[in-house]
Amino acid sequence: MSELLVESCGALTTVQDAGRFGLRRFGVSPAGAMDATALARANALVGNALDTAAIEFCLMGGRFCLEGGPALIAFSGTSANATAGGRALDADSSMLVHAGEHLVIGPVREGVYAYLAIAGGIRLAPDMGSRSVHRRSGIGGRPLQRGDRLPLADDAGEAQPRSLPPAEALGNAPIRLILGPQDDLFTERALKTLFREEFAISAQVDPMGCRLEGPKIEHSSGFNIISDGIVQGSVQVPGDGQPIVLLRDGQTTGGYPKIATVISADLDRFAQLPPGSAVRFHLVTREEALTLAKARAQKIASFHECAKPLAIESPADALFSSNLISGVTNAFAFDHM
């Protein structure tokens, strides 16, 4: 069986799939990839189901060694210098890596999260139906450490390399929100502040949630409510008036009022905002949010269809296409010399 040996990695490097669902009523957060679109893209490039477990990098990269046999790999997410066996690993295509070769992922740039997918997936035992690591509870295991060995599929090197059109740039468009469910517990000024002023991603951010820094959001009558359900994207406002956006590892209930919710179509983009980034919000209706969610789902579902096999150049093709003698353009010219 092939394995991926972890030689070094950042402290928040984990195995993540699409998450565990149907357990929120029991207090179990879904966890899962912070950028689900990037995870699906990497899996499409290696021919996996789009929700297959992969390695998630948070800001820092890592170094790995492939042992036991070949594997088809793909890198997706925000930009980073990545190599496999000393060859540049393009974020828009997959590559066959051989046993003994090293994979080196540099620090993540222009965002926070990046993904390394392997054909056949990572064959760790599922925990509550998912291989995703929930960091605070330990469900699904722990972050990766030096010396860990990740089991791979026996046929991990049999899939054909693929390519996808370049991913869309993250951009700096406003993050879209729908109101509620407790927007009636805030002043009119609070709503105007939320949608007219600029906030910043604070240093207090992790997969559980992100605290924003900016103008105070005013409550109309206190900030404690009877604890009720929370979803990914909920915008809680505690007593200091500084909003907290709940993310993939967020708790399932809470006692702060929720002024709004980040729409599902923008959660990936929000998660990729590094600390210090400026963020603005834009109000949309529930109907608009549903339309955008459907469009996102269709886009992700199209990744397999859009992933085209790469033409593999034979050694002879590579030889004939090379300029072996610089400056010579017509060999027949030498017949008359």
Kindly tell me if the per-residue pLDDT of 256 is higher than 90. yes
Segments forming the whole domain that contains residue 134: 3-162
Kindly tell me if the per-residue pLDDT of 48 is higher than 70. yes
Kindly tell me if the per-residue pLDDT of 172 is higher than 90. no
Residue 324 has a pLDDT of 53
Rounded CA-CA distance 185/206 in Å is: 27
Q: How many CA atoms lie within 13 A of 190 on its CB side?
A: 25
Q: How close are the terminal C-alpha atoms of the chain, in Å? A: 61
Residue 318 has a pLDDT of 45
Alpha helices in 216-314 (DSSP H): 264-271, 286-301, 303-306
User: Do 224 and 91 share a structural domain?
Assistant: no
State the DSSP H helix or E strand holding residue 228, giving kind and residue range, or none if neither. strand 228-229
Residue 312: pLDDT band with limits 50, 70, 90? low
Domain boundary among the residues 162, 185, 215 is at 162
User: Do 148 and 30 share a structural domain?
Assistant: yes
Residue 215: pLDDT band with limits 50, 70, 90? very high
Per the model's pLDDT, the better-predicted residue between 323 and 93 turns out to be: 93
Residue 240: CATH number of its domain: 2.40.100.10
Is 229 a member of any domain? yes
User: Do 193 and 144 share a structural domain?
Assistant: no
Residue 157 has a pLDDT of 73
Per-residue model confidence as pLDDT tens digits over 7-34: 999 999 999 999 999 999 999 999 999 9
165 burial type by CB count under 10 A (0-12 exposed, 13-18 middle, 19+ buried)? exposed
Q: CB atoms < 10 A from the CB of 211, how many? A: 19
Domain boundary among the residues 137, 162, 187 is at 162
Kindly tell me if the per-residue pLDDT of 329 is higher than 50. no
Residue 317 has a pLDDT of 46
Domain count for the chain, please give it: 2
State the DSSP H helix or E strand holding residue 332, giving kind and residue range, or none if neither. none
Is 306 a member of any domain? no
Whole-number average pLDDT of the chain: 90
Tell me, rounded to whole angstroms, the distance of Cα 133 from its chain centroid.
14
Is 329 a member of any domain? no
Rounded CA-CA distance 270/113 in Å is: 11
Kindly tell me if the per-residue pLDDT of 91 is higher than 70. yes
Quick one: CA dihedral 184, 190, 196, 198, positive or negative? negative
Residue 266 has a pLDDT of 97
